[in-house]
Amino acid sequence: MKTAIIGGGISGLALAYLLREECPGADLTIYEELPRPGGKIWTERHNGFLLEGGVNGFLNNRPKTLELAARLGLMPLRSSDKARIRYVYSKGRLNRIPEGILDFFQSGLLSVRGRVRIVLETIAPHSSNTDETLSEFAIRRLGREAYETLIDPMASGIYAGDSTLLSLKSCFPKIYNLEAKYGGLIVGMLRMKWAARKTGKNVSAGPGGVLTSFQDGMGTLIDTLAAKLGSALVNNRRVTAIEKTADKYHIHFKDAPPEEADIVVLAAPAHAAKDILYGLDKSLSRQLAEIPYPYVTVVSMAFKREAVKSNFDGFGFLIPYKEGRKILGTLCDSSTFAGRAPEGYMLFRTMLGGARAGAIAALDGEKIIDTVFSELSDIIKINGTPEMVKIFRHEKAIPQYNKGHAALLGSISESLKAHDGLYLHGNSYTGISVNDCIEQSYSLAYSLGSSIMGKNRL
């Protein structure tokens, strides 16, 4: 039984590796359009700096990614203690985000009125809307000030999204379920903490965990998977269409003859999958086209430490949309992981564009550099010129789980029922993180492994 996996990002690579491990001798090939695999996981070394063009790590609170790393013989690298120091740019300055509840209420991050409004979350009204946007939910439960200062920049930091469009239950199901199960966020957290004391576990409404990577960056995970897959991974092979006759799928390529497969897993982004599937199922193609992808540009910029005149030191900062800045936020990679920059240098990674400002991400290189330098100079007080600059462009960056996403997934699932042996896989659907992609790969590998080899373990 021939299996074809289309798309060599982390979802496709992890799935292929797990299938090969669980089903030795399985006939499978993974096709990647670009010269390199990895998708949005993209690590480069440049003039002594280790740069992440996209994903910079994963949280170590979910076991499957750590399990996969162990199977590959990789040693994870935890972020430094400085990575817990995080800021929000508000009212013209950087404000450290307090780590504890008491510290939060004693900080000046929100006004007294804003802090009181958060306390009133316990009596906030419920909504009959089962698919609220993040902004609708946050304003209803926490108030407008907390939404604009804290929740909105979180959405832009994770999704590069517009919080007035993003679906709460699709993007942050853990928070959605707190209200659904307990009636509110504060009450839910308290009840979860009381229950957790019996087991000794820690609980959080947020993602939790410690940011983790590898000594040579996230590209280590991709390179190791690619080496394990060997000739089963075919780069520079663009799939243009899929047809089906009888019980076989026929895969068409841009510059190669067609090939047959019994099972096809589309692990490409939805925007690519829609084009591939257009001839097979126009309705399914149109459904996939409804998942938007904003333009995001990442700029790595390094300075000598003495050029940074502020005391900025930590993971980074996010910027609320209301502040009117031209960047989404900046991470300090040299503070987060060891070995990212030579001694005496600070390495920053700045994000521009997103759902609200894609035009900024599309500016030419010189304007992009001028924009980032100007913003950083003002926000963290830089007196000097960059020692190194590298631009990474993602014209279609992060899938947006906007309001209606859950219903759209239901329609997509119904459409797939007409195509036995065809699967959609990747971060376009039920989780955008590396952890999500790897967990989904384990689940799909279990299902496909049982079909391919009749095995029932993974």
Helix (H, G, I), strand (E, B) or coil at 424: strand
| Residues, the chain | 458
For range 148-173, the mean pLDDT: 96
Q: Domains of the chain (ranges plus CATH)?
A: 2-41+217-292+401-453 (3.50.50.60), 110-197 (1.10.3110.10), 294-394 (3.90.660.20)
Calpha distance 420→263 (Å, rounded)? 8
Q: What is the pLDDT of residues 97-145, one digit of tens each?
A: 987 777 787 888 899 999 999 999 989 988 889 999 999 999 999 999 9
Residues 6+ apart with CB under 8 A from 414: none
Calpha distance 85→82 (Å, rounded)? 5
Calpha distance 384→198 (Å, rounded)? 54
Q: Please report, for residues 21, 298, 319, 332, the alpha-carbon distance to residue 329 in angstroms, rounded to integers and kept in the order given.
A: 40, 10, 6, 10
Predicted pLDDT at 200: 64
pLDDT over threshold 60, residue 255: yes
pLDDT over threshold 60, residue 203: no
Helix (H, G, I), strand (E, B) or coil at 284: helix
Q: Which residue has the tokens 């990895």?
A: 38
Residue 343 structure tokens: 């001694």
pLDDT over threshold 70, residue 205: no
What's the alpha-carbon Rg for the chain, to the nearest Å?
23
Predicted pLDDT at 456: 39
Give the least confident one: 32-36, 162-166, 446-450.
Answer: 446-450
201 band by pLDDT with thresholds 50, 70 and 90:
low
Q: Which residue has the tokens 């993209």?
A: 42
For range 87-95, the mean pLDDT: 93
Predicted pLDDT at 256: 94
pLDDT over threshold 70, residue 455: no
Q: What is the pLDDT of residues 34-77, one digit of tens each?
A: 999 999 999 999 999 999 999 999 999 999 999 999 999 999 99
Question: Mind giving me the DSSP string for 347-395?
Answer: EEEEEEE-TT-HHHHTS-HHHHHHHHHHHHHHHHTB-S--SEEEEEEES
457 band by pLDDT with thresholds 50, 70 and 90:
very low
Helix (H, G, I), strand (E, B) or coil at 293: coil
Calpha distance 147→166 (Å, rounded)? 13
Phi, psi (degrees; rounded to nearest 5) at 313: -160, 115
Calpha distance 401→458 (Å, rounded)? 29
Give me the percent of the chain exceeding a pLDDT of 90: 82
Give me the percent of the chain exceeding a pLDDT of 70: 97
pLDDT over threshold 70, residue 454: no
Calpha distance 42→58 (Å, rounded)? 14
pLDDT over threshold 60, residue 400: yes
Predicted pLDDT at 106: 80
Predicted pLDDT at 116: 92
458 band by pLDDT with thresholds 50, 70 and 90:
very low
Helix (H, G, I), strand (E, B) or coil at 149: helix
Q: What is the pLDDT of residues 313-348, one digit of tens each?
A: 899 999 999 999 999 999 999 999 999 999 999 999
What average pLDDT is seen over the chain? 93
246 band by pLDDT with thresholds 50, 70 and 90:
confident
pLDDT, greater one: 98 or 196: 98
